[in-house]
Chain A
Amino acid sequence: MRPRTIAWTLIVFSVLCHSMFAQTPTTADLNELRAQIDALKADYDKRIQMLEAQLQALQNQSQSTSKPETPVEAAVPPPQQQQPAAQVPSGAQGAGGPGGALPVYGGTGGERVFNPDIAVIGDFLGAIGSNKVNPNPALQMHESEASFQAILDPYARADFFLSFGQEGVDLEEGYITFPALPGGLLMRVGKMRAAFGKVNQLHNHVLPWTDRPIMTNNLVAGEDGINDAGISVARLIPNKWVFLEATAQAYRGDSNDVFHSSKRGELAYVGHFRGYQDITESTNIDLGVSYAHGHNPAGIADFDLGRFRTTLWGTDATIRWRPLKRSIYRSFVGRSEFVWSGRAQPTGVQHARGYYVAGDYQFARRWFAGLRYDHSGRAEDASLVDQGQSAILTYWPSEFSQIRAQYRRTKYADAPIANELLFQFQFSIGAHGAHPF
């Protein structure tokens, strides 16, 4: 980095910090501050009065056997917990140590208040039928995902998703989000699923299928997807008509077999542009264009590794219908993604493309039926094209569990047709997470 660039970066950073954490007081600010202090004073006066009233009520209660009126009962705060104490070891007091009882920190119940929201989601998969290319076990506890989410401080929140899979523990995502930076920026730093298309950003448990589309497996780094350590900045583009959001992300450059970084400078970049519009109060359309670029693992180490790059372009379209008055009984989501992959390798550049088209219809409060069509070339050899068809039936016993069956027929380019029945049990305990949109 040149000195001038460093200087400018420092200036931008200091301005950012300045506008984020400090403000020069003006008369208006002081007036406002005064008003706030007044409001605070009034609030405390009110609280003291309330406490006095409660004290009076409690005294009355202890004097008479009759119970006080319910409103007072509702307003009484929970009793203060006694701070536990430890005794000073004998001899310490005389030797200049502390005297009396020592406070014990932690374990008083207060620590639970700051615990993050914790949830665990189990994903159990079963398979019947034959598949020579991708033979899943007959039964497997595919993944257990533990999530820890909390507000970090007045400026940020943090989210962690640990995935306990067949091969061990993996940090699926772990990032800090600054939701309100100056300039209307939403910044995220950590390990995260890249904003490439729709499916790449979804965790397994929110997919409408038991698997991921063939396109994902062939072109977009498989089940884990483009998922890497990096920095993401997203901004809304103000306009009178529609929701527009632009996202720019820079990653270390390691995402399974798609991107591989053999030295520090070989970063991967992802860009996403999203447009959304309500058509009616029950129907809306969501469109996106994505771009990803980075070095791929083609080449031989210490010879030409790092020389070859992959560029991905993607488009996604989602149409949703959910009548507001019957929103818990009927809905439809139609979605499709196209991906174009250009992969440079020692034999030349391979141009592969893949897509899927899928629809899910909710026909009762707890029942969903879906279809998906898959078609995709392979990144390393575009002449090999795989195709697939799936039919899916999903049942929700409650909001916290899900049972799903999927019939999948896959026509591989270089293997016999695979006919499979896949089934899935999903179950979630702990904090109630937000529903993805």
Chain B
Amino acid sequence: MNIKMFAVLLIALLTTSVPAGAQSKLNVVTTTEDLAAIAREVGGDHVTVDAIAKGYQDPHFVEAKPSFILKLQKADLLILVGRDLEIGWLPPLIQQSRNSKVQVGADGYLDASLQAHILEIPQGQITRAEGDVHPLGNPHYWLDPENGKIIAREIFDKFVRVRPNDRTYFEQRLNDFVSRLNDAEKRWVDLMAPYKGTKVVTYHRSYSNFAERFGLNITGYVEPKPGIPPTPQHTLDLINEMKRGNVKIVLVEPYFDLKTPNSIGRETGAEVLVMPPSVGGVKDVPDYFKLFDYDLAMLTNAIKKTGAK
């Protein structure tokens, strides 16, 4: 190959880009299945949505596999939970995606947390003596349907920005989703109303927004500090505290070991519930509505069974 041919080839290689056809579906990649579920509600059949982390895996610890690079390479839009949840694995994926659309701050990059109601934003000086604290607040905010609506609106705004021609379609889908979610939320809040103030213990701080919305009172955590595995002394203290406070429910995310929660259950007579904090956490939770249906049904049954208050 002579140098002329090489240069021509190089120019051809560098200037060819695949034109974005008006008819093609918007290719959306989300970091979690919860965001994927909401994006599907708003996007309908005008988008294809693919999630990176599975609902049954700890979203803090996802491996930055090259197969995810391929997903991001083809994405028109990347939606992330934000608040540093994905700090350990998303930056290298974005960097290696070779996709200018989804780089931080680009048009196809959406941090879904910016308008959401975020809890536990640390005030003042924080150190890691408090464990793996999230300096930007609790990232498990999607477990409040009110935040679900805010996320949906953010996704809608982004969809419209990227596909202005589909505005009416997306608007209709958004309104439909919000109205169904309003109805469902009313039903869920009514369902939980008799049990307002029920004391629970959770493994990690995944259910803060959930507890706030549905009136649960979280009195302790199986983890002594965020991200630090249970220690015998902390477990003992927790058991005593639960006995004193008559706490009868322990909520555990599907990706944590059940050994310590089960022994706490045996000592205190509390019911240990493996409660998915995400869509896809168990088979019966394929969408955002089913997540709350499933979790609240499980919770109310356990409260009735144990007589927890």
Contact pattern, B 184-228, Cβ under 8 Å of A = 1, otherwise 0: 000000000000000000000000000000000000000000011
A151 at the interface (CB under 8 A from B): yes
Chain B contact residues, CB within 8 Å of chain A: 3-4, 7, 10-11, 13-15, 17, 54, 56-58, 61-67, 69-70, 73, 84, 87-92, 94-100, 103-106, 117-118, 128, 131-132, 157, 160-161, 164, 227-229, 254-257
Nearest CB in chain B: distance from A280 CB, A: 12
For residue B124, give the distance in angstroms from its CB to the closest CB of chain A: 13
Q: Are B57 and A183 in contact (CB under 8 A)?
A: no
Q: Which residue of A lies closest to B131 (CB)?
A: A398
What is the number of residues of chain A that contact chain B, defined by CB distance less than 8 Å? 59
> Among B14, B69, B103, which residue has its beta carbon within 8 angstroms of that of A243?
B69
Q: In the complex, A436→B67 CA distance in Å?
A: 15
**3 smallest A-B Cβ distances: which pairs?**
A35-B164, A180-B100, A276-B66
Given A15-B15, A365-B229: A186 and B96 within 8 A (CB)? Answer: yes
CB within 8 Å: A-B pair count: 141
Could you tell me which residues of chain A, from 8 to 64, have a CB within 8 Å of some CB in chain B? 8, 11-12, 15-16, 19, 31-32, 35-36, 39, 43
* Interface locus among A221-229, A308-316, A321-329: A321-329
Which of chain B's residues have a CB closer than 8 A to the CB of A366? 229
A236 with B95: CB separation less than 8 A: no
Q: A236 touching B98 by the CB < 8 A rule?
A: yes
Q: List 17 A-B contacts (CB under 8 A).
A: A8-B3, A8-B7, A39-B164, A71-B117, A154-B106, A179-B97, A180-B100, A182-B17, A236-B69, A278-B67, A327-B62, A329-B257, A398-B128, A398-B131, A435-B63, A436-B92, A437-B66
Q: Which residues of A contact B54 (CB under 8 A)?
A: 281, 324
CB distance from A28 to the nearest CB of B (A): 9
Task: Contacts A151-B104, A182-B14 given; indicate if A432 touches B87 (C-beta within 8 A).
Answer: yes
Chain A, 418-437, CB within 8 A of any chain B CB: 429, 432-437
Query: Which A residues are in CB contact (< 8 Å) with B69?
Result: 236, 243
Closest to B102 in A: A180
- Residue in A12, A186, A243 whose CB lies within 8 Å of B67: A243
For B104, list chain A residues within 8 Å (CB): 151
Task: Give every chain B residue within 8 A of A31 (Cβ-Cβ).
Answer: 164
State whether A183 and B13 are in contact (beta carbons under 8 Å apart), knowing that A39-B161, A236-B69, A398-B132 are contacts in the complex.
yes
CB < 8 Å neighbour of A284 from B4, B11, B65, B89: B65
Question: Nearest chain A CB to B254's CB is how many angstroms away?
Answer: 6
* Beta-carbon contact of A15 and B14 below 8 Å: yes
Looking at the complex, which one of A8, A177, A185, A432 makes contact with B95 (CB distance below 8 Å)? A177
In the complex, which residues of chain A have a beta carbon less than 8 angstroms from the beta carbon of B67? 243, 276-278, 284
Selected contact of A434 from candidates B10, B17, B91, B228, CB within 8 Å: B91
Taking A35-B164, A329-B257, A436-B92 as given, write out 13 further A-B residue pairs in contact, using a Cβ cutoff of 8 Å, ordered by the A residue number: A74-B118, A182-B17, A236-B70, A236-B98, A243-B70, A276-B67, A278-B67, A322-B63, A432-B87, A434-B92, A435-B88, A437-B65, A437-B66
Which of A36, A433, A434 counts the most chain B CB atoms within 10 A?
A434
A257 on the B face (CB < 8 A): no
Shortest CB–CB separation between residue B267 and chain A, in angstroms?
Answer: 22
Q: Is the CB of A432 within 8 A of B84?
A: yes
CB distance from A349 to the nearest CB of B (A): 30
The answer to whether A400 has its CB under 8 Å from any CB of chain B is yes
Question: CB-defined interface of A235-264 with B at 8 Å, one 1/0 digit per residue?
Answer: 110000001010000000000000000000
